[in-house]
A and B are shown apart, each in its own frame.
Chain A
Amino acid sequence: MFLTYLRRELTRRSKQTLFIAFGLAVAIGLVMVVNGAAGGIKTAQDKVLSNLYGIGTDVSITKTDTSFSGGPHQFDVGGKTGGTGTQAFSRSFLTVQPGTGTLTSAYVQKVSAVAGVSQVVSTLKLDSLNFSGQLPTFNQSTGSSTTGSTPIGGSTSLNQGGQQAQGTQSRTQQGTETGSQPAPTFGGGQGRGGFDGNGGSRFNINRMTVEGISTAAGANKIGPLSTVVVTSGRALKPADAGSDVAVLDSTYASGAALKLGSTLTISATKFTVVGIAKSTSTAATTSSNAYIPLDVAQTLSGKTGAVTNVYVSAKSADVIPSLKTAIKKLDSVATVNTSSDLASTVTGSLSTASSVVNNVGTWLSMAVLAGAFLIAILFTMSGVTRRTREFGTLKALGWKSSRVVRQVIGESLVTSILGGIFGIVLGYGGIALVNALSPSLSGSLQAATGFGGGDRGGFGGPPGIRQTTASVVNVALNASVSPNILVLAFAFALLGGLLAGVFGGFRAAKLSPAQALRSVA
C-alpha cells in the first residue's frame, strides 16, 4: 500500500509534485553551474599562473629595488662639432628592469638550504635595449622643437627610470617608418634645447626582454621554462654555460624575423639562436623574448652572481606556508609569494569572473537553494493541511502516526529525487551552455608583485611591448562537472526533500483523528 499510495499521490497531484521538484531542480542546477564555473575559473587561474610563473613553482622570490634612484642613463650620441649631414650611432643597454632588485647567489644558496625545499631555479630577467640610428649634426643653440621632429631631452639623456618621464614622453612617427612599429622617442623637457629636425634624425629602438637561465639539467622543471616547449632546435644545455647562445620565444622570433642559426645582438654581443620555444598554452607567449645562459647574462649586464627571480618548489604542499616564513626570514626585503598569494594578484576579466562566480554565484545559489527548500517545505506542509481529513480518516482507520509520517516523507523524498534528476539535467544543460558560449577570460598581473617589468619604469615602449613580455594570458572558461558535485547536488535535493518531509510529517503526526474529522466543514 505504501508504494501504491505514494505513486497515486505523486501522479494524481502531479502539479504540486512537479512544482516542488522543479524548484529543487533549478536550485541544484544552479549550484552545479556555479560550481562548474568556479572550477573552470580555478583551472583558468592555474593556467594563467603557470604561464606566468611556471608549473610546479610553489614559492617565488623577487626583490624590489628600494635604492632605486631613477637617475638618467646618460649617453653620448657622439656628435662631433662642425660638419653637416648625419652620422650613425648605436648604443645598447642590458639592465635589470627598473625597480627590480637583485638577489645574490649567497642568498640563493641559503634558500636552497631551507628545510622542505625541493628545488631552486633562479633567473636574471633583463631588459635589452638597442638604440641605433642616424643623427644629424646640430646646432646646440636652436630653440624649441617642432612637431614632427624628434626631440630628445635637453641633456640628450634617456631617462629610463623616473616616473616623471611618463608624463612628458612623446612619440612621433617618421614618414619613412609609417606602417612599421613606431619607434619611440624621448623628451626630457621641452624647450631645453635639443635636435632640430633638419637632418631627418632617425632612431631604431629595439627593446626585448632577455632572461638568463641556469643551464643545469633539470632547470626547466620549475620557473619560466616549465611552461615552455622547444619547437625547433634545442633547449639550453649544461655545455652552453659561458656561450653566446639563445633560445627565442617563437612569437618574438617571427616578429623579429629570426630563425634557427640567426644571429641576434644583445648588448653588442652576437648570439646564435639555437632554439625556438613556445608556451605550452596556446594562449600565451613565454615570459621573456630570449633565454640565454645565466652566467652570460650576469657578465653582460655586469651583475655577477645576481639574479632577479628565484623559483622554489616544495617537497610537499603542506610545507609551503612554513617554507614561506623561513624564506622571509632570510631577507626581510625580498618579496616571497606562494602560488596562492599569486592567484590573488591576477587581475583582468578573469579575476572579475572569479569574484562574480565565487561571491555572487555562491550567494545566489545559496539563496535559490534556500528558496527551493522553503518552497518544498511550505508546499509539503500546506499539502498536509489540505489533506487533514485524509490523514485523519486513515488514523481513524487505525493507521499509526508513524505510517502516515512515512507516507509524507516518502512522497517528499521521491519528489526530491525527481528534482535531483531534473536538476542534474538542468545543471548539465547550463554547463553545456557556458561551454558553448565559452567566454574568453584574460588574466594579467598587477605590477606590484614586482616582476614582469612593471609599470614603474618611465620607459614608454610602443603599445604592445608589455604584452609580448607575457603578463596577459587569455584562456577560455571551461566549466565541468565533477563527480563530487553530482553527489553533492543530489544530496542537496534529498536534503530538501527530507526537510520538507520531516516538517510535513511532523504536522501530520500531530493531527488527532477527532480534530481531523471535525475539519470537514
Chain B
Amino acid sequence: MSDIKLAYQLVGVSKVFHQKKKEIKALDLVNVEIAANDFVSIQGPTGGGKSTLLQMLGLLDNPTNGAIELDGEFLNELSEAQLGELRAKKIGFVFQNYNLIPTLSAIENVETALVPLGIDKQERHDLALKALEKVSLADRANHLPSELSGGQQQRVAIARALVKSPKIILADEPTGNLDESTRDEIVSVLEKLWKEEGITLIVVTHDSAVAKRAKKHLYIKDGQVSLKA
C-alpha cells in the first residue's frame, strides 16, 4: 500500500455537533485512506454522516478530533485562509442543488472558480469556455442558471469544478435532483472526467446505480465508515 500515492489519509477523525445540549457524533473515529486518482462512492442512510465526511475531505470544516492529510500535507495546523487557498487550488465541488450564482451567466459561474487563483480576465474566459465545452454546454455559455434545465445546471457546476484542473472532485448527491436519464448523463460526464483528467473522484450518493460506477465503495452509518465489497 505504501507505494501507492494517497490523496487522503484520515486518522481517528471525529466530528461532534452540539444540538440542544445533545451531542451528535456525525463522525466517530473514522480511519480512511483514499488513493490518488481513485473513483470512490460513499453510501449510507440519511443522517449517517456522508455529507459531514465530505465536508472534512473538502476542507470546509475542521474535525473535532483526529488528523487529515491531503496530498501528504497535514491540515490541522492550517488557518482558515490557507484552507481556502487549498480548496481553490485543489478541490472541485459538485452539489446536489448545483449552487450556481443565480445572477451570473453559465460562463461567469464557471469563472468564479478561477477568481481566487488570480487568473486574468481573458484567460479566465478562455478556460471557462473550454470547461463548458468539456461538458457540452459551450453554446449555453451566456445563459442564466434559471434558463437552463437541472441537468444543464449540474453540468455547469461540473465545469466550474473542473475548470481549475483540480486534484480532487467531491460530489454530494450530484444526481439527487435529477431524473434517471439525466442522472446517467451526469454520471457519464463525471466518469469521463475521472478517466481523462486524472482526478480523484469522490461521490456521495443514495443511488446504487451511481455507486456501481465507482471503483471503491465506502459505507457510512452512525458516523462509522466501513468498506463495502
Partner-B contacts on A (CB < 8 A): 1, 4-5, 8-9, 12-13, 389-390, 392-400, 403, 512-514, 517-518, 520
Cβ of B81 under 8 Å from chain A: yes
The dominant DSSP class at the B interface is: helix
Give the number of chain B interface residues (Cβ < 8 Å). Answer: 29
Residue of B nearest to A389 (CB): B99
Q: Which of B87, B99, B102, B160 has its CB near the most chain A CB atoms (within 10 A)?
A: B99
Q: List the B side residues contacting A517 at CB < 8 Å.
A: 55, 60, 95, 99
Q: List the A side residues contacting B104 at CB < 8 Å.
A: 4-5, 8
What are some 22 contacts across the A-B interface (CB < 8 A)? A1-B115, A5-B101, A5-B103, A5-B104, A8-B104, A8-B108, A13-B103, A389-B97, A390-B102, A393-B101, A394-B112, A396-B87, A396-B93, A397-B88, A397-B112, A397-B115, A397-B116, A398-B84, A400-B116, A403-B116, A517-B60, A518-B51
Q: List the A side residues contacting B93 at CB < 8 Å.
A: 393, 396-397
Cβ of B85 under 8 Å from chain A: yes
Report if A398-B60 is in contact (Cβ < 8 Å); known contacts: A1-B111, A1-B112, A520-B97: no
Do A514 and B113 have beta carbons less than 8 Å apart? no
Report if A399-B116 is in contact (Cβ < 8 Å); known contacts: A5-B104, A518-B51: yes
Q: For the A-B complex with A396-B93, A400-B81 known, give 12 more contacts whose Cβ atoms are closer than 8 Å.
A: A1-B112, A1-B124, A4-B108, A390-B99, A396-B58, A397-B88, A398-B89, A398-B113, A400-B116, A403-B115, A514-B60, A520-B99
A520 to B55, CA, bound (A): 14
Q: List the A side residues contacting B89 at CB < 8 Å.
A: 398
Residue of B nearest to A9 (CB): B103
Q: List the A side residues contacting B117 at CB < 8 Å.
A: 398
Q: List the B side residues contacting A403 at CB < 8 Å.
A: 115-116
Cβ of B71 under 8 Å from chain A: no
Partner-A contacts on B (CB < 8 A): 51, 55, 58, 60-61, 81, 84-85, 87-89, 93, 95-97, 99, 101-104, 108, 111-113, 115-117, 124, 160
Residue of A nearest to B157 (CB): A393
Residue of B nearest to A512 (CB): B61
- How far apart are A512's CB and chain B's nearest CB, in angstroms? 7
Q: List the B side residues contacting A399 at CB < 8 Å.
A: 84, 88, 112, 115-116
A230 to B55, CA, bound (A): 91
Do B84 and A8 have beta carbons less than 8 Å apart? no
Q: List the B side residues contacting A513 at CB < 8 Å.
A: 60
A452 to B55, CA, bound (A): 87
A403 to B116, CA, bound (A): 9
Q: List the B side residues contacting A400 at CB < 8 Å.
A: 81, 84, 116
Q: Which of A398, A399, A514 has its CB near the most chain B CB atoms (within 10 A)?
A: A398
Report if A393-B99 is in contact (Cβ < 8 Å); known contacts: A1-B112, A512-B61: yes
A514 to B17, CA, bound (A): 13
- How far apart are A369's CB and chain B's nearest CB, in angstroms? 30
- Other-chain contact of B103, A8, A398, A512, A514 (Cβ < 8 Å): A8
- Other-chain contact of B101, A394, A395, A396 (Cβ < 8 Å): A394
Residue of A nearest to B95 (CB): A517
Do B87 and A397 have beta carbons less than 8 Å apart? yes
- How far apart are B9's CB and chain A's nearest CB, in angstroms? 21
Do B61 and A514 have beta carbons less than 8 Å apart? yes
Q: Which of A5, A392, A397, A518 has its CB near the most chain B CB atoms (within 10 A)?
A: A397
Q: List the B side residues contacting A9 at CB < 8 Å.
A: 103
- How far apart are A401's CB and chain B's nearest CB, in angstroms? 8
Residue of B nearest to A518 (CB): B51
A396 to B89, CA, bound (A): 11
Q: List the B side residues contacting A518 at CB < 8 Å.
A: 51
- Other-chain contact of B88, A1, A4, A398 (Cβ < 8 Å): A398
Q: Which of A4, A399, A517 has its CB near the most chain B CB atoms (within 10 A)?
A: A517
- How far apart are B220's CB and chain A's nearest CB, in angstroms? 17
Q: List the A side residues contacting B97 at CB < 8 Å.
A: 389, 520
A403 to B85, CA, bound (A): 13
7 A-B pairs with least C-beta separation: A398-B88, A398-B116, A514-B61, A393-B99, A12-B103, A514-B60, A8-B103
Do B87 and A398 have beta carbons less than 8 Å apart? yes
Q: List the B side residues contacting A389 at CB < 8 Å.
A: 97, 99
Residue of A nearest to B105 (CB): A8
Q: List the A side residues contacting B84 at CB < 8 Å.
A: 395, 398-400
Do A520 and B103 have beta carbons less than 8 Å apart? no
Do A398 and B85 have beta carbons less than 8 Å apart? yes
A397 to B92, CA, bound (A): 7
- How far apart are A210's CB and chain B's nearest CB, in angstroms? 80
Residue of A nearest to B97 (CB): A520
A392 to B93, CA, bound (A): 12
Q: List the A side residues contacting B96 at CB < 8 Å.
A: 520
Do A514 and B55 have beta carbons less than 8 Å apart? yes
A1 to B101, CA, bound (A): 13
Q: Which of A4, A9, A396, A514 has its CB near the most chain B CB atoms (within 10 A)?
A: A396
Q: List the B side residues contacting A394 at CB < 8 Å.
A: 101, 112
- How far apart are A471's CB and chain B's nearest CB, in angstroms? 66
- How far apart are B61's CB and chain A's nearest CB, in angstroms? 4
- How far apart are A513's CB and chain B's nearest CB, in angstroms? 5
Q: List the B side residues contacting A1 at CB < 8 Å.
A: 108, 111-112, 115, 124
Q: Which of B96, B104, B108 has its CB near the most chain A CB atoms (within 10 A)?
A: B104
Q: List the B side residues contacting A390 at CB < 8 Å.
A: 99, 101-102
Residue of A nearest to B55 (CB): A514
Q: List the A side residues contacting B61 at CB < 8 Å.
A: 512, 514
A390 to B116, CA, bound (A): 16
Residue of B nearest to A6 (CB): B103
A383 to B81, CA, bound (A): 25
